[in-house]
A and B are shown apart, each in its own frame.
Chain A
Amino acid sequence: MTALPWDAQAVRQAADTVLAEALYWFPVRHHSPAAARHLAAAIERRKPKVIFIEAPADAQALLPYIVDKKTRPPIAVYSSYRDDDNTLGLAGIASPAAEIPPRFSSWYPMTTYSPEYVALKTAARLGLEVVLMDLPHHALIEPANAAAGQAAEDTTTLNRYPEDQLYQRLAQEAGFRDWDEAWDSLFEFGEYSADLSRFRKELATFCAAARLGSDPARLAADGTLARERFMWRTITNTLKTRKIEAAEAMVVCGGFHLFLDRQDPQPPPGLPAGSTFNAVMPYSFFQISALSGYGAGNRAPRFYQVVWELGANPDPDEWLSRHVVDIIKQARREGEQVSSADAISIAQHARMLASLRGRAHAILDDIEDAVFSCCCKGDPAAEGRYLQRAIDQVNIGKKLGKVTPDAPRLPLVEDFFHQLSVLGLQDTVEQESRITVKLDKRQDTQRHQSVFLHRLRYLQIPFCRLVEGSTDKLASGTLFKEVWHIKWSPEVEPALIENNLYGDTLEAAVFSRLKDRLAGVSKLAGPTCRQLRQAVDMELPAMVEKLELACEQAIAQDERYVSLSTALHELQMLQRHAIYQHQAHEVIDKLIESAFDRACFALPNSANAPEEEQQEVIDALRIVSEALLGTEQLDQALFIHQVQHAAAISEIPFLQGALLGMLAELRVISIEESSQALAGFAQQPAERQLAAGDFLDGMLATCRTSIMLGADHLVNAMQVLLRAVDEESFLIMLPRMRIAFKRLHAAQLDSIAGLVAGYLGLEESKQLTRLETSVKAAALFAQIDKKVAAIMQEWEL
């Protein structure tokens, strides 16, 4: 690490100059209770006419909802931007296709103790004006001609605080592990925390050091300079137009921006054309935590909440004790055997560590180290993993925010909450823990719930996951039952907002998206039939008719075996569903017949499929053969004929094996015949012999039940084969053979292993179990043993 290029005098001078300005600058750290507390006091004392806050300017209209008393942090300002006319030229680069406009979004999170939130609340209480002064995020998106392209994720909050890297370096040079430790040691709980003016001065000095050590080129590249130009222009323009003196205003921003260039002649960047949307969203402690990947993340949102709630000048022992006890309780829930004596030791150890590290009070780093010292009996990465999980859970917490119902919502979001309420699922958004919901679709309410969840699933809203579906397995016997996992998270609302473009209600949105997707798959029978099944699950009768027609056309046009067999599978599930529901299924019956016939005729096309498609072909073979079970509607002879034809023309050992295995499974040929084909490899040239493993793998992939009827033939064939190959060839064949046998169930493997053992004359188990004797005989054995022992002793053996 190279030394940071600053001198102490220059740093002090830079800080003093800014702090002496008429305009009152207050440096903050995001999500710091100490900064929030001092800031609130500064606002109370100065009562400025206007407060400029470093938050996205386009969220200005949302301020009333943020400070509303029914709003409870954690919350976030969500901003999205859609480049409708491809102004930035990123369509197809930052979006999946050229015709799809790229979308970008960003979050600006706040907790109860975020200085910005506290400033907003204090200003609202005192009737002071607030101006949000930061550049909206979409102004920083690089157009295609300026950069190779920028992923949508890049414009989230991750890169909004690049100065943190400089703080990190400064902290390490000062002997701290990281910036978090330095902050807590010095500013949050340390010597600079007690007095407002000292806090402001020392933080400004620290930030001046970071600023002087930063590379201007990097600041230009990461957008810092562009943001600062916008901030400074907002400040100067507002003061000028409102005729407010600088001394009557206050600026709340990250300390790094205190040193923005007031003389920078360049104007800030303009905002690109497109659709924007801003909203206040509920957020969670997890999302605010550094563990979630949030760049300006707080390492322990819950811990700092406790500290905040303890008020000004809290007793350090109070938060230490509370935190340690919470960790101990959580560790017990994780299965760790920790006692109250451990809690006492942890607190003592943490205090002593703090003292050794030159701190007046224990901070999170000391507590965490103390937990591992006192409770982890081994390697923290192994034996300590549950402790670490307990610490993370207690540090982060599960708190979820709430936004006032008065805040405007998009129609789709409104429909979502309305349906939650109607369907009795509103409790699910009260917590961020997973709920398991079991549904029986024969009951009306539960059927409606299922439809609602299926619609959300189709729209890819991260709210629910189908764990067991009624239509996933034909033979599962749970045609009407479904199991869902539901978990609310702050990502739900943004996902709904993205879908608002497709319709104002969930039904309209899924209808419109189904139509869009159908356009992309209309010539493929499998995906089209899957859309049909999904339309049935989502109860879209108007769409079902259209889809039935689309399926008919797709089946008629499709020549791909795998796609047709998928269509067959989907249609059979629909058929079964309709039968149980006593619904008409003539159209489905016809589609099934048509899909089956088309699949049979398409099968030979796949007889020499490339390697990457071979497993799909095997799966499709099994689907079609299973479709034959229990129905006379389908033409079995046609399928057998096509399998024989495909086997005859296939030149790929894996597929040859699979096709012959399928014929054996259908009892068209015997296992002996298919095994002979395997043994036939023994007569082949050496390079051809190597493919025997592939052949066997294919055979066992399709021949599952009938293999046990002729397992001895298979074992014999393998013996013939293995005797014929040399060691090197065997080693090459071995991995594929292992894979082949892994396809069998444990019972089948046991049976084959028994046969092999018998073949090799290994019958030890039988000898052991068949030992039968009487008490008299046992006594005789004992006598003989004694005599033998005596003889051996005599012979000195």
Chain B
Amino acid sequence: MPRKNTATQDKGAGRLRQPAEIQYREQLQALASVDDTDRPENWRLSPASVLTYILGGEKITTTVKGKKKTVEITRKFYGDRSIVERAIVTLASDRALLLVGEPGTGKSWLSEHLAAAISGDSTLTIQGTAGTTEEHLKYSWNVARVIAEGPTADNLIPAPTMIAMQQGRLLRFEESTRCVPDVQDALVSVLSDKAIAIPELPDANMVWAKPGFNIIATANSRDQGVNELSAALKRRFNYIHIPVVADAKTEVQIVKQRATELLQRYALPTKVPPPVIELITTVFREIREGKSKEGVSLKQPSTTLSTAEAIGVTIESALRASYFGGDTVAGEDIARNIVGSIVKEDLNDLAALKEYAKLIAQKRAANNKVWNSFYQGVQQVIRQ
């Protein structure tokens, strides 16, 4: 049944998505209010509080507008604790941080939260693409004014790197290895000299980084070979590898939490029952690993079936159920949306889903309603 138009999509801010420092402002403020330990210059929180913010699990009693309130610090990242510790320490050191891993392992998510907790600003971001130029990294000019007035400091348009340096904040450089090597190498001087030279300005021709400036870059391990970082740049980055979530229980927890958050953001009333979340994580995990929990060997598709993909499929299924179905996501909705995750570049990957449906889902369907709904859904999709 089509639902009523109740989508508010964050009425207050009128934005589809809030940056982490806004969305989790209350938690960040609560942590800051009790944080009295030493911190690197220009950091909003101490390293220990940043760690607590990312890993959660604490309740802080603080005063908000004169009233005492207990704020729960939720878990933002489900990977190994030492990964987060190493990332935080790197950002406090002379070296920059490169989060590397398979697509969908939460690199950007972690990067955003680190920037929000450390600098209070996760928006100083450069999105690396083949079209990214050195100007996107450093600065450009207001051409009209340069023609009229010549190059002056007022006519310069600083790129996020320069702003982060001037304010002593963190710069986020997403998908860094998608940029061509020349552009990547522009970072060498930024990271070694902690300065950007502006030769066009005769007087104030250097912008120096304030303490607190550093870079969090991310790179897909699948893209590493596309534009591999030069040796000079590699040396200036500490790499932290983010692995695919190791255990099924944690993966279910991640999908559940993120799906709930996203459903709230889209103001969807649709429910995703726990057995459906378990089903989707099980399907993704088993096809990704090429083996079912009963030990049956399975075809592996060429795509990375990450946890982020599982979350995406859950949300798409919820949207579909919400607009074209009922109030609850069923296995059938998952089946209809999962095809797009498995079959991306190679049509032959459909064979992996077909095999999975035949060998695994069909057997489980015999005595499980959710699996039965999923199996029937896959059969319909395959026939289409």
The answer to whether A and B belong to the same complex is: yes
Instruction: Report which A residues bind B (CB closer than 8 A).
Output: 177, 337, 339, 341-342, 345, 348-349, 352-353, 355-357, 369-370, 372-374, 376-380
If over half of A's interface residues share one DSSP class (helix, strand or loop), that class is named, otherwise mixed; here it is helix
- List B contacts of A378 (CB < 8 A): 100, 221, 224, 239, 241
Given the known inter-chain contacts A356-B48, A374-B95, please indicate yes or no for A379 contacting B221, CB distance below 8 A: yes
B225 → A minimal CB distance (Å)? 11
B69 within 8 A of A: no
Task: Please determine whether A356 and B239 come into contact, CB atoms closer than 8 angstroms.
Answer: no
B85 within 8 A of A: yes
- List B contacts of A370 (CB < 8 A): 86
- List B contacts of A341 (CB < 8 A): 235
- List A contacts of B237 (CB < 8 A): 377
- List B contacts of A342 (CB < 8 A): 235
Instruction: Report which B residues bind A (CB closer than 8 A).
Output: 47-48, 51, 82, 85-86, 88-90, 92-95, 100-101, 221, 224, 231, 234-235, 237-241, 243
Task: Please determine whether A356 and B47 come into contact, CB atoms closer than 8 angstroms.
Answer: yes
Task: Please determine whether B94 and A369 come into contact, CB atoms closer than 8 angstroms.
Answer: no
Task: Please determine whether A349 and B90 come into contact, CB atoms closer than 8 angstroms.
Answer: yes
Residue in contact with B82 in the complex, picked from A339, A369, A376, A379, CB distance below 8 Å: A369
- List A contacts of B88 (CB < 8 A): 356
Task: Please determine whether B93 and A356 come into contact, CB atoms closer than 8 angstroms.
Answer: no
Given the known inter-chain contacts A353-B89, A356-B88, please indicate yes or no for A373 contacting B100, CB distance below 8 A: no
B290 → A minimal CB distance (Å)? 17
- List B contacts of A373 (CB < 8 A): 86, 89-90, 238-240
Report the bound CA distance from A455 to B224 in whole Å.
54
Task: Please determine whether A356 and B82 come into contact, CB atoms closer than 8 angstroms.
Answer: no
Task: Please determine whether B241 and A380 come into contact, CB atoms closer than 8 angstroms.
Answer: yes
Task: Please determine whether B221 and A377 come into contact, CB atoms closer than 8 angstroms.
Answer: no
Task: Please determine whether A356 and B241 come into contact, CB atoms closer than 8 angstroms.
Answer: no
Task: Please determine whether A352 and B234 come into contact, CB atoms closer than 8 angstroms.
Answer: no
7 pairs, CB–CB < 8 Å, chain A vs chain B = A177-B82, A337-B231, A352-B92, A356-B51, A373-B89, A378-B221, A378-B224
Report the bound CA distance from A341 to B238 in whole Å.
13
For A345, A352, A369, A370, the residue with the greatest tally of chain B CB atoms inside 10 Å of its CB is A352
Report the bound CA distance from A161 to B88 in whole Å.
37
Task: Please determine whether A377 and B82 come into contact, CB atoms closer than 8 angstroms.
Answer: no
Report the bound CA distance from A353 to B86 in whole Å.
7
Residue in contact with B241 in the complex, picked from A177, A353, A379, CB distance below 8 Å: A379
A355 → B minimal CB distance (Å)? 8
- List A contacts of B235 (CB < 8 A): 339, 341-342
- List A contacts of B240 (CB < 8 A): 373
A767 → B minimal CB distance (Å)? 34
Known: A348-B94, A374-B95, A374-B238. 12 other contacts (CB 8 A): A341-B235, A342-B235, A345-B238, A352-B93, A353-B86, A355-B47, A356-B47, A373-B86, A373-B90, A377-B234, A378-B241, A379-B221
Given the known inter-chain contacts A356-B47, A356-B85, A369-B82, please indicate yes or no for A376 contacting B241, CB distance below 8 A: yes
Task: Please determine whether B239 and A377 come into contact, CB atoms closer than 8 angstroms.
Answer: yes
Given the known inter-chain contacts A345-B93, A349-B93, A374-B95, please indicate yes or no for A357 contacting B239, CB distance below 8 A: no
Report the bound CA distance from A377 to B237 in whole Å.
9
Given the known inter-chain contacts A356-B48, A378-B224, please indicate yes or no for A348 contacting B93, CB distance below 8 A: yes
- List B contacts of A356 (CB < 8 A): 47-48, 51, 85, 88-89
Given the known inter-chain contacts A345-B93, A345-B94, A374-B95, please indicate yes or no for A353 contacting B85, CB distance below 8 A: yes
Task: Please determine whether A345 and B234 come into contact, CB atoms closer than 8 angstroms.
Answer: no
A180 → B minimal CB distance (Å)? 14
For B48, B51, B238, the residue with the greatest tally of chain A CB atoms inside 10 Å of its CB is B238
Residue of A nearest to B241 (CB): A379
Task: Please determine whether B90 and A369 come into contact, CB atoms closer than 8 angstroms.
Answer: no
**Which 5 A/B pairs are nearest by Cβ-Cβ distance?**
A352-B89, A373-B238, A373-B86, A379-B241, A377-B239
Task: Please determine whether B89 and A345 come into contact, CB atoms closer than 8 angstroms.
Answer: no
Task: Please determine whether A376 and B239 come into contact, CB atoms closer than 8 angstroms.
Answer: yes
Report the bound CA distance from A357 to B243 in whole Å.
22
B55 → A minimal CB distance (Å)? 11
- List A contacts of B85 (CB < 8 A): 353, 356-357, 369
Residue of A nearest to B102 (CB): A379
Report the bound CA distance from A352 to B94 in whole Å.
12
B215 → A minimal CB distance (Å)? 15
A198 → B minimal CB distance (Å)? 25
- List B contacts of A372 (CB < 8 A): 86
